[in-house]
Structure 1
């Protein structure tokens, strides 16, 4: 069950969707800050409503261009994007790259028995021993066919 969940999470589509949602939410705050910090006061100035002194383009006390709020939203967005990139996207890209290259842990070393049998086989091949002689060397006795 956990392997299936891991495979589901490691799919590119799921990770891309999650990153897109997080970055989209962070960018929404930047757009909202831009609107409330600059566009709303600008519209108040252009419309000549209660936010502008009559006959001048100087804003009244009620109109404030909140550039600090906008800068705060931009910095928050950049920090969020950096954290998502370095903690999610970068490690998963490295993992996918390793999988593409086929890097897997090296196979376990063969046991001593396997090494010994391999040496015996190689020695027999070098000596070109007759097929039945192998059983004699190893102490095996074949039963004759009936």
Structure 2
């Protein structure tokens, strides 16, 4: 049981996943700082002079009812930045490398009719090579 667990931990995919999580967390911290210290002040400046920016309070004296629309907009901007970086830095180069270096087998599957035509042609060729011409009935003409 311990050997299986060791094999699982040392499998390449698990190590790659661990590295990806650590790098992703670090990158998320950078993007969060960017939106918190650059984007959110810009949103607050556009939102008006009051202390709430794009937020509002549903019940006057209850701070638990504060709705912060600016934070939602910042989270959306966070997501778009992270998704764009992941796409343009990871996905696009990986797809380009796959096209360049990986040769995919042709995914052409012949239909049953095509296979039967090929078999008929092979049998015709064998019959003409064996010289048995008159001993066998002539194959039916093609209807392609």
Fold match (TM-score > 0.5)? no
The structure whose RCO (Cα within 8 Å, separation 6+) is larger is 1
Structure having the higher strand fraction is 2
TM-score w.r.t. the length of structure 1 is: 0.30
Q: Which has the larger radius of gyration?
A: 1
